[in-house]
């Protein structure tokens, strides 16, 4: 089961901080990040990529997005 980071409603830089903390914790695998603004979507994607993770998918969910980042 994927780990879920729920960053909805949180402003900069919380979504990125939470994602990076989770990345540090799990090291590899899949993380689901929930965000509610396009800025957070871009920031989380950019931050994960710089950590060597790839953005597997971004799907609209509710008023925001469900981002899945992964590392093998």
Partner 1 sequence: MSTIKNFFATRWGIISVGAFIGIFAPLLQKWGNPANMGVCVACMERDIAGALGLHRAAVVQYMRPEIIGFVLGSLIAAYAFKEFRARAGSAPIVRFVLGAFAMIGGLVFLGCPWRAALRLSGGDGNAIFGLLGLIGGIWIGTFFLKGGYNLGRAQKTHTSVGWLLPLIMLGFLVLMLIFPQVPGQEKSGVLFYSVKGPGSMHAPLLVSLAIGLLIGFLAQRSRFCTMGAIRDFVLFRQAHLLLGFITLVVVAFIVNLILGQFNPGFEKQPIAHTMSLWNFGGMVLAGLAFCLAGGCPGRQLFLAGEGDGDAAVFVLGMIVGAGIAHNFGLASSPDGVGHYGIPAVIIGLLTCLFIGFTMRKEVA
17 is a contact residue toward partner 1 (CB under 8 A): yes
49 is a contact residue toward partner 1 (CB under 8 A): yes
11 is a contact residue toward partner 1 (CB under 8 A): yes
Nearer to partner 1, 17 or 61 (CB): 17
* 1: nearest Cα among 28, 30, 25, 35: 30
Ramachandran angles phi, psi of 18, nearest 5°: -65, -40
42 is a contact residue toward partner 1 (CB under 8 A): yes
Give least dist CB 52 to partner 1, A: 14
8 is a contact residue toward partner 1 (CB under 8 A): yes
Give the H or E element holding residue 15.
helix 14-26
């Amino acid at each position: 089961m994927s780990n879920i980071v729920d960053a909805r409603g949180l402003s900069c830089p919380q979504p990125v901080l939470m994602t990076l903390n989770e990345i540090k914790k799990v090291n590899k695998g899949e993380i689901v990040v929930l965000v509610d603004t396009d800025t957070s979507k871009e920031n989380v994607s950019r931050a994960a990529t710089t950590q060597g993770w790839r953005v597997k998918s971004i799907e609209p969910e509710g008023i925001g997005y469900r981002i899945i980042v992964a590392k093998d």
